Amino acid sequence: MDIKTMRRGVMENSDGGEDMVLANLIANGDDVGPLVRLAFERGRPEGLLHQLIYVVKQKEAEIEEMCKTHYEEFILAVDELRGVLLDAEELKSELQSDNFKLQQVGSALLAKLEELLESYSVRKNMTEAIEMSKNCIQVLELCVKCNSHISEGQFYSALKTLDLVEKSCTQNIPAKAIKMLIESRIPVIKLHIEKKVCSEVNEWMVEIRSSAKNIGETAIGHAVTVRQRDKEMLEQQRKAEEQSISGLGDLAYTLEAEELEEDSVLQFDLTPLYRACHIHDCLGIQEKFREYYYTNRLLQLNSDLEITSAQPFVESYQTFFAQIAGFFIVEDRVLRTTGGLLVADQVETMWETAVAKMSSLLEEQFSCMESAPHLLLVKDYVTLFGSTLRQYGHEIGTLLDVLNSSCDKYRLLFLEECQQQILDVFGNDPYDQMEIKKQSDYENIVLSFNLQTSDIMPAFPYTAPFSSMVPNACRIVRSFIKGSVDYLSYGIHVNFFDVVRKYLDKFLIDVLNVMLLEKINSGNVTVPQLMQIAANIAVLERACDFYLRHAAQLCGIPVRSVGRPLGTLTAKVILKTSREAAFIALQSLVNTKIDEFMTLTESVNWTPEETNENGNDYIHEVIIYLDSILSPAQQILPLDAVYRVGSGAFEHISNSIVAAFSSDNVKRFNANAVINVDYDLQIIENFAEERFYSAGLGEIDDEVSFKICLVEARQLVNLLLSSHPENFLNPDIWEKNYYTLEIKKVAAILDKFKDSPDGIFGSLANKNAKQSARKKSMDVLKKRLKDFN
């Protein structure tokens, strides 16, 4: 074909060349599209059409040629095909017949097959259903387990199981009904658990509230133990220091520290609270529970802070404070161990609430209390409460302020009570010296208050210089000291000795001393009683040193501390002044009594005709009286006091005699009267000397005597009886013999001196001469004194 194509090409013209190109392209199977598009784009498709017609003719010629060559084969093929057709028809008939037979035979099998397929489908569904059911069963088993946990109160496990249920429900349960049911029940269950747990917490709150009192009492009991131990240690230390300073003994310090394990002693169970915290945390509502806990505990606290009026505070205060202490001990544990259920600020707020309420309550109750021991009891318990709570980090300054401000009230009440006791003691005092029969009594009455006058144990029975008022008063003062120390200790003042000392001084001065003065000046005490009071005061003065030392000891201050001398109580000086007042009152009373006897102006004959060596009656009465007071004075008073009483009495007698001579009631007196007074004076002087030495006063001071107290009267009488009275004006003689006499007084007295010469006219010449000489001398003295004045 290629050869033919080449020959025609050669024969054709240039157009035949283009035809050849298109034919080649078609023969090669190339794409003639671009060529066709190019022809139409150029607007000249006629050429292309012409070429295509040529190609068509060419192809038709080829086909005809092929048909001419193979027509024989075509005829044979058709024949053969007709034969095949017949065979096919025959085969078709056979196949239909076979198919029918097969259908008949296979119909039963087909039914079986359909059944089998259906079973497969059922099996698949069943498998899925079983799988779903397993998931459901798994979830439902979890539900059962959850219910079981809830029934047994195991809420944490229940919540964990509930979480699993929730996850399984989300992922694995295609059954909508169950899924919706479970999803709707989950919040209900959670709410149920929440309520159950809150109910448990409420139950715990009921229990912990009833336990709080015991917890508080136990903790405060520990504070009591600690305080007692500290007190003992301080006492030992004080004694050791005293011995060390005095050079005796060794310092004995112990460094043993007993550590009270708080948790092992204060047993209470917070388990329900821990569980509740955990459950609420799992529920995701911890904040809600935190608020619930705080609110309800605050309500409980406020309820505890309400005090019932049905019971007196003095009976209920311990329960009240123990309850509050227990509350805060529990809250401290809760704060430390629950990991955030409480915060420190909340506990602080609770504490401030409690302190404000307690302070207000204490102020109110203290203002109503009328008994110092009650105030002390409450104060002690409050300080124990305070020291207990301080260990848990609470500030107790406000409570201490309340106690401190109540201190004055306590002191006033205590002062009143002690005052009443002192009053009773004074009222019951027999004013007799105490007789002590045995050594134990001596130790209790004398040694314990340092009232002894020597360190030697006396023989028994022993008569003390004081009456029973003294040891009784000392006991009261000691209890006052202890009461003051008790109230001030463990308070704001760390070193409260100065305060106690001030209180002590005030008590001794304002109560004891005032009562002594009232008794002294009351006017219904006798001379021996006044003596006893004076003697008692002397002993009470000495007791002041004991009081101060005792106060220092109770305040924990070593007595022999060199750096801090205790000094002395002001009361000691005041008591000394009161003793002086007692003596003044005593002297006044004695003098008044003496005046009752010394009625010279009325009972004495100032112009007797004879002398009487036996003396006037008054002097014997005075001597009897003096004997009656000097005897008890020797028993009751120390020697210097005895001298004081005696000398005062004798001096008063002397003054009375001189006053009688000066009295307007005595218009004149004669020599016999003077002689009689001289006899009186000799009698009293003898008595004075005898008394002075029998009282043992001569051992004290040889320079003094009772007789000296009578010197004024003696000098006056001597002058009136002197042979040379004009010597009175001689300075040297005056200085020696008449120094107590006032010139004016003497002049007045001498004017009354009328010596009657008529009665002695018949006397001897010698006697007359002597008397005349004395008369002259007296006249000279009178004249000179008159001129002198």
Partner 1 sequence: MAGYKGDDEYDYLFKLVLIGDSGVGKSNLLSRFTRNEFNLESKSTIGVEFATKSLNIDAKVIKAQIWDTAGQERYRAITSAYYRGAVGALLVYDVTRRATFENAARWLKELRDHTDPNIVVMLIGNKSDLRHLVAVPTEDGKSFAEKESLYFMETSALEATNVENAFTEVLSQIYRIVSKRTVEAGKNASSSAVPSKGQTINVKDDSSVLKKIGCCSN
| Cis before 373? omega within 30 | no
Q: Where are the alpha helices (DSSP H) in 266-371?
A: 271-283, 286-304, 313-337, 344-368
Q: How far is the CB of 277 from partner 1 (least distance, A)?
A: 17
In terms of CB distance, is 197 or 488 closer to partner 1? Answer: 197
* Dist. CA 656–CA 665, nearest whole Å: 13
In terms of CB distance, is 328 or 410 closer to partner 1? Answer: 328
How far is residue 202 CA from its own chain's centroid? 31
Q: How far is the CB of 300 from partner 1 (least distance, A)?
A: 6
In terms of CB distance, is 296 or 338 closer to partner 1? Answer: 296
* Dist. CA 519–CA 773, nearest whole Å: 59
Closest CA to 737 of 152, 503, 746: 746
DSSP per residue over 310-327, as a string? SS-HHHHHHHHHHHHHHH
In terms of CB distance, is 243 or 300 closer to partner 1? Answer: 300
Q: How far is the CB of 365 from partner 1 (least distance, A)?
A: 17
Q: How far is the CB of 304 from partner 1 (least distance, A)?
A: 8
Q: How far is the CB of 399 from partner 1 (least distance, A)?
A: 23
CA dihedral 492, 497, 499, 503 (to 10 degrees): 130
Q: How far is the CB of 364 from partner 1 (least distance, A)?
A: 16
Query: Beta 435-436 vs 462-463: how paired, if at all?
Result: antiparallel
In terms of CB distance, is 323 or 715 closer to partner 1? Answer: 323
Q: How far is the CB of 566 from partner 1 (least distance, A)?
A: 52
Closest CA to 649 of 664, 628, 663, 669: 628
Structure tokens at 261: 């394990």
In terms of CB distance, is 328 or 661 closer to partner 1? Answer: 328
In terms of CB distance, is 300 or 450 closer to partner 1? Answer: 300
In terms of CB distance, is 212 or 403 closer to partner 1? Answer: 212
E strands, 388-458, in order? 435-436
* Dist. CA 208–CA 326, nearest whole Å: 9
DSSP per residue over 163-221, as a string? HHHHHHHHHH---HHHHHHHHHHHHHHHHHHHHHHHHHHHHHHHHHHHHHHHHHHHHHH
506 neighbors 404 (Cβ within 8 angstroms): no
In terms of CB distance, is 212 or 329 closer to partner 1? Answer: 212
**C-beta pairs of 290-299 under 8 Å, 24+ apart in sequence:** 290/340, 290/341, 290/342, 292/198, 292/201, 293/201, 293/341, 293/342, 294/342, 294/346, 296/202, 296/205, 297/205, 297/331, 297/350, 298/350, 298/353
283 neighbors 190 (Cβ within 8 angstroms): yes
Amino acid at 213: K
In Å, what is the CA distance from 660 to each residue of 68, 430, 610, 719? 215, 39, 20, 16
Q: How far is the CB of 308 from partner 1 (least distance, A)?
A: 6
Which three-class secondary structure state does DSSP give residue 477? Answer: helix
173 neighbors 179 (Cβ within 8 angstroms): yes
Q: How far is the CB of 422 from partner 1 (least distance, A)?
A: 42
Q: How far is the CB of 217 from partner 1 (least distance, A)?
A: 19
Q: How far is the CB of 313 from partner 1 (least distance, A)?
A: 15
Amino acid at 690: E
Q: How deeply is 435 buried, as exposed, middle or buried, from its count of CB atoms within 10 A (0-12, 13-18, 19+)?
A: exposed
Closest CA to 492 of 382, 566, 351, 367: 382
φ/ψ of 732, rounded to 5, equals -65, -45
In terms of CB distance, is 147 or 302 closer to partner 1? Answer: 302
Q: How far is the CB of 195 from partner 1 (least distance, A)?
A: 12
> To 10 degrees, what angle do helices 743-752 and 711-721 make?
50
Q: How far is the CB of 296 from partner 1 (least distance, A)?
A: 7
600 neighbors 653 (Cβ within 8 angstroms): no
Q: How far is the CB of 249 from partner 1 (least distance, A)?
A: 59
In terms of CB distance, is 14 or 308 closer to partner 1? Answer: 308
In terms of CB distance, is 164 or 205 closer to partner 1? Answer: 205
| β partners of residue 25 | none
In terms of CB distance, is 13 or 309 closer to partner 1? Answer: 309
In terms of CB distance, is 290 or 478 closer to partner 1? Answer: 290
Q: How far is the CB of 292 from partner 1 (least distance, A)?
A: 11
In terms of CB distance, is 303 or 360 closer to partner 1? Answer: 303
Which residues sit at the interface with partner 1, rule CB under 8 A? 202-203, 205-206, 209, 296, 299-300, 303, 306, 308-310
Amino acid at 14: S
* Whole-angstrom Cα Rg for the chain: 69
